[in-house]
């Protein structure tokens, strides 16, 4: 899944970016509010991590403008402002969650998994379609009696498909969900990952729709 990180502190931004990539997210990192709004206008994201004390445009203004256009994109505020009034204001402006700095990365990742699940209409920490299951916290996929640990890219690809079972995702759509700004994308990277997943879970786990893309079937 592709995440927009809006954080002006270099050390904090780098630490969060590394943690997100290690957890199989693609990350785009901006350091001011204006660039964040430009990124949102030009790229599809699954969630935003938003600091409040930003240059050019503060986080509250960014949040207001995103909600003003009718976007329901999940947004978690990450801020050192710990006053109750700040937290209430952020949530009332439309944030889905508010996490006070400093925080544990594991907690941030858990909150991110939760809002992405809810956005996809999934309440359970396990995505499923028929007998295929994917544990979002352990990155373990299970199909029948077969249970395997996936690499971060394999996990990200299967997660993207399982969030929309029955929907065809093109090569470009999958690349957008797996790779952030500046990450090199080899021409056959998606094919390689799908081959690896089929090898681990069986050839029928991901269906190819010729000329359109790939899908995980919705159970009948």
Greatest mean pLDDT among 53-62, 180-189, 205-214 lies in 53-62
Mean pLDDT calculated for residue range 78-101: 94
pTM (predicted TM-score):
0.75
Contact (CB, 8 A) for 33 and 6: yes
What SS3 state is found at 78? strand
Q: What are 90-98's contacts with CB under 8 Å, separation 24+?
A: 90/52, 90/60, 90/63, 93/60, 93/63, 93/64, 93/67, 94/63, 94/64, 94/66, 94/67, 95/50, 95/63
The pLDDT score that the predictor gives to residue 183 is 73
């Amino acid at each position: 899944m592709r995440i927009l990180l809006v954080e002006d502190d270099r050390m904090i931004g780098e630490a969060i970016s590394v943690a997100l990539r290690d957890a199989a997210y693609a990350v785009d990192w901006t350091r001011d509010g204006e660039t964040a709004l430009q990124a949102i206008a030009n790229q599809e994201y699954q969630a935003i991590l938003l600091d409040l004390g930003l240059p050019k445009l503060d986080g509250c203004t960014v949040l207001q403008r995103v909600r003003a256009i009718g976007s329901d994109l999940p947004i978690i505020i990450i801020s050192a402002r710990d006053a109750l009034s700040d937290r209430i204001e952020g949530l009332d402006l439309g944030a889905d969650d508010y996490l006070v700095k400093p925080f544990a990365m594991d907690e941030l990742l858990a909150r991110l998994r939760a809002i992405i699940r809810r956005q996809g209409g999934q309440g359970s920490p396990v995505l499923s379609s028929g007998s295929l299951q994917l544990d979002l916290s352990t990155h373990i996929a299970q199909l029948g009696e077969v249970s395997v640990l996936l690499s971060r890219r394999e996990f990200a690809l299967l997660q993207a498909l399982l969030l929309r079972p029955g929907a065809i995702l093109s090569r470009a759509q999958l690349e957008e969900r797996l790779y952030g700004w500046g990450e090199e994308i080899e021409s056959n990277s998606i094919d390689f990952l799908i081959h690896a997943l089929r090898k681990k879970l069986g050839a029928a786990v991901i269906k190819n729709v010729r000329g359109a893309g790939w899908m995980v079937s919705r159970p009948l």
